[in-house]
Structure formats: C-alpha cells, structure tokens
Structure 1
Amino acid sequence: MPRMLRMLRTVRTHLGTLAGACLLAVLVWRLGNGAFLDGLRGIDAAVLLASLGLGLLTTLLSAWRWRLVSRALDVELPLGGAVASYYRALFLNAALPGGVLGDVHRAVRHGKDVGDVGRGVRAVVLERTAGQAVLATVAVAVLAVRPTPALAEAGRAVHHAVTTSAAGAIVA
C-alpha cells in the first residue's frame, strides 16, 4: 500500500474524533459548561446504581429475546453466551461508526458457532426488528397516555400542512 494511501486512511480514521472534539469545544465556548457540571453534580450513588440495574435488566431481556428468536429458528443459544455476546455487541455498536457493526459481529459469530451463518444472521435481524417494534409500540403508548406540548405543536403543523395541500389540490 502506498504511503500516501496509508496517510489518508489514518487522517480519515481520526477525522471523526477530531470533529467531535471541535464540536464539543465550540459548544462549551458558546454556551459554557455550567449545565454539564450541574448534571454531573446531580448524579449520586442511587442514580448510578439504578441506571446500572436498568442497563443490566435491559441487556438480559434483549439477550433472552434473541435466544427465543434463535430457538424458533432451531438454533441453540445458551443464555450466558447470549448475554456476553449482547454486551460485546453493545460496546462495538457504541465504539465503531455506524452503530450496527456489533450486531453484524454478533450475527456472524453466532452463525459460525452453530455452523449456519444464514440462520445466525436471520436470528439477529429478527431479534433487532422485534426490539424496534417493541420500542415503537411503547413510544406510541406513552405518547397516547401522556401527550406533550411538542406533540401538540407537531399536530398543528401537520394540520396546517394537510390543509395547505388540500387547498392547493383544489386550486389546481
């Protein structure tokens, strides 16, 4: 590989980190750091333990959901292995660009472990789809029970857009 290509690849790799750091620096410069420091001061041991517990519970339930989907596809997946793979995928999703490379790794590795990469990938895709469906359902239920002013404003904007479109269609 030519030297110039290696250098460009290195610069490209670090460009996202540099852009993020610059963005944070500009935000602190323009807005100050008071809100951030106030937020940090508001974190006590109880809040930290609650967030760790909720994270653990969420990961356990997600791994269990993956195990159920895998079992429905006749692919064995022990819960302990599922939890470990799920934590690895969460880390990789957070650390690598794109936010899905951890799930790709989880799918391929699981498929290789059971000798059928296609079923391993299907299990992860179906599990992620089920997770998104659950998230959307819960979000709609929460918004239906507890509407927000922002939602009311969005409703007005949609109403205006529909009215304007209808008027435009009638005139045309």
Structure 2
Amino acid sequence: MGTAISQTSTNAPRSGRSRRRSIWTWARLAGGAAILAVLVWRVGTGPLLDGLRLTTGWSIAAALAITSLTTLCCAWRWRLVAGGLGVEVPLGTAVAAYYRSQFLNATLPGGVVGDVHRAVRHGREVGDLGRSLRAVAWERASGFAVQLMLTVGVLFLLSQPFVSPGAVTVAAVAGLVLVAVLLGLNGRRLSSRIGRAFTSDLFDAVLAPRAWPGILLASTIAVLGHATVFLIAVRATGADVSPAHLLPLALVVLTASAVPTNIAGWGPREGAAAWAFSSLGLGASLGVTVAVVYGMLALVATLPGAIVLLVAHKRPTYAKCP
C-alpha cells in the first residue's frame, strides 16, 4: 500500500510537468499560427506566393554555400562549449550533428526539436546526458547573446527609424546590467547548488579564455552569414533598399526568428519583416515576400541534414561482443 502511494505521488509531479510542457508547446504553435493568420488577413496570400516564386537557382546555390560556412562556425562553437563542460565532440561529428539539428528545426514545430535531438544523441554517446543538454543550451544562448549585441550595436550606430536611439540605449544598458549581474552574483546565491552549477558552466564553458574568443568569432561569422542570405532574399525580390537599411533589417528579422513561437521557423520572422519593412515605408507586403524567400532559402540550405539523418538511419548497428 505504501509503495503504491509512493509511486502515485512520484508520478503526479511528472504528469503535471508533462501537461505544462504540452500546454506551452501548443501555445507556441498557436502564437506562430496567429501571426501568420494576421499577416494573411492584412496583406493577403500574394506576398507568400511571390516569395515561393522568386526563390531561384542562383540564390539557392549561394544559400547552400554560405550555410556550409555558418554551420561549420556553429559546430565549432558547440565544440568549444562542450569541451569546457568535459563532453568533447569531434569537429566532423559536430558539423554533421548541427546540420541534422538545423534540418529538424526547419521542418518540425517549435524550432528547437533539432537542438534537443542533438543534445540527447550526444549525451548518449558520451554517457552524460545532463552535461550534453547544458552544452547545447549554453551554445545556443551564447550565440544568441552575440547576435543580440550585434543587432543592438548596428541599430544604435545607424539610428534606424523603426527603433529609436533611446530604446536602443535602454536595451544596451539592460544587457550590460544583465552581464554585470551574472558576473557579480552575491555569495548567498553562489552557495546554492544551482547557482554554483550555473556560474561554473558560465566561466568554464563560455567565458573561459580558451573559449570566449572562438565563441565570439564563430557567432559573429554565423550571424553575418545568415544576414547575407537575407540580403540575397531581398535582392531576389528586386527591391531597391539602401545598404544602410539592409543590414539592420536583416538583423532585426533574424533576431525575431529566434523567438520559439513559430511553426517550423514560420511566424515571428514574417511578422517582424512586415513590421520592419513597413516602418521604413517599403510596405508590409514586401517584408512578407522577403521573409518567405529567406525561409525557403534557409530550408533548402539545411537539406544536407536530411542526408545525415538518412545515412544514420541506414547505418547498420552491431551488437557488442559479450
């Protein structure tokens, strides 16, 4: 009787967590669907269809080439972070796994399934799931932090009309305060197990002298590579946008794309593009068309990940000798 009660009490929190995860997952998908529905209501289906039509062979080839470089940089960043946590991953393995995760992110709801798969698979290979999950989380977080800093810096320097200098300044100060808080955690917080683990990971995997220069360099190249693909998407539409506006536009839309309220990458990206292009007087329809072209280029550029999945699926497994 006591065992049954114990099992019931143990399963109850798990059931509650599962329900919360399910609700959050559906809420994210609903958010992405709502954004797309509003866009279709406001601009119609024409910009979406134009985006599909304007995806050409040369733009696809360019996106594939650029994405190969950005994937290499991201895989290197993951390798640096994982090494700091003691779960090494060879560069070749990291590149293949990153391609696979990008393909899953681009084709499955939520935009993070591929990263979870990458972390779990690596964790099983090295026998430490916890550290592998933390390595992927820190790798993605550090990359987004660099992207956010670049976006804020470019917006501040170029004073874009859709973001006031005051708002950019506030965002920059908030970011600096956040970093200061992380670096200056008080002793009472550090005494907790979670606080010690968090701080240890931060300094060992991200801010360590052996890691942070490479993380900064890899993340910067990756962001600029994605921005270049976005610029290719703009050119594919024939839009006449000044160079001073193109880079900020790209960074704003790419930053919005990281919001996990999407359907296989679609939703926030198109909404942000519609808003940013409209704020510059270029029209929301053009923004949606550019975002669709970029989405198609990004999707096609992850297709090597499908090959990695196929090869892994067909690779024979051998039982270990007793």
TM-score, length basis structure 1: 0.65
Residue equivalent to 1:48: 60
Residue equivalent to 1:129: 141
Shift of 1:34: 4.6
Residues 151 and 31 of structure 1: CA distance in aligned 2, closer, same or farther (over 3 Å): closer
Shift of 1:43: 4.2
Residue equivalent to 2:73: 61
SS in 2 for 1:75: coil
Aligned partners of 2:126 and 2:50: how far apart in 1?
49
Say which of 40, 49, 67 aligns to 1:27: 40
CA RMSD of aligned residues (A): 3.1
Q: Deviations over 1:30-56 (max 9, x none)?
A: 755554455455544432222222221
Residue equivalent to 1:112: 124
Higher RCO, 1 vs 2 (CA within 8 Å, ≥6 residues apart): 2
Residue equivalent to 1:82: 94
Shift of 1:133: 0.7
Aligned partners of 1:111 and 1:89: how far apart in 2?
14
Say which of 161, 173, 184 aligns to 1:149: 161
Residues 132 and 153 of structure 1: CA distance in aligned 2, closer, same or farther (over 3 Å): closer
Contact 2:115 / 2:136 at 8 angstroms: preserved in 1?
Answer: yes
One-letter amino acid matched to 1:142: V
Contact 2:105 / 2:111 at 8 angstroms: preserved in 1?
Answer: yes
One-letter amino acid matched to 2:160: T
Aligned partners of 1:142 and 1:153: how far apart in 2?
11
Aligned partners of 1:96 and 1:143: how far apart in 2?
32
Shift of 1:84: 1.2
Asked if residue 71 in structure 1 is aligned to residue 86 in structure 2, the reply is no
Residue equivalent to 1:138: 150
Shift of 1:118: 1.4
Residue equivalent to 1:164: none
Alignment gaps of 5+ in structure 1: 1-12, 159-172
Q: Deviations over 1:104-144 (max 9, x none)?
A: 11111101101111111111111111111111111112112
One-letter amino acid matched to 1:137: M
Aligned partners of 1:122 and 1:31: how far apart in 2?
41
More helix by share: 1
One-letter amino acid matched to 2:113: L
Aligned partners of 2:166 and 2:143: how far apart in 1?
26
One-letter amino acid matched to 1:126: W
Residue equivalent to 1:166: none
Return the index of the structure with the highest Cα Rg. Answer: 1
TM-score, length basis structure 2: 0.37
Residues 69 and 34 of structure 1: CA distance in aligned 2, closer, same or farther (over 3 Å): same
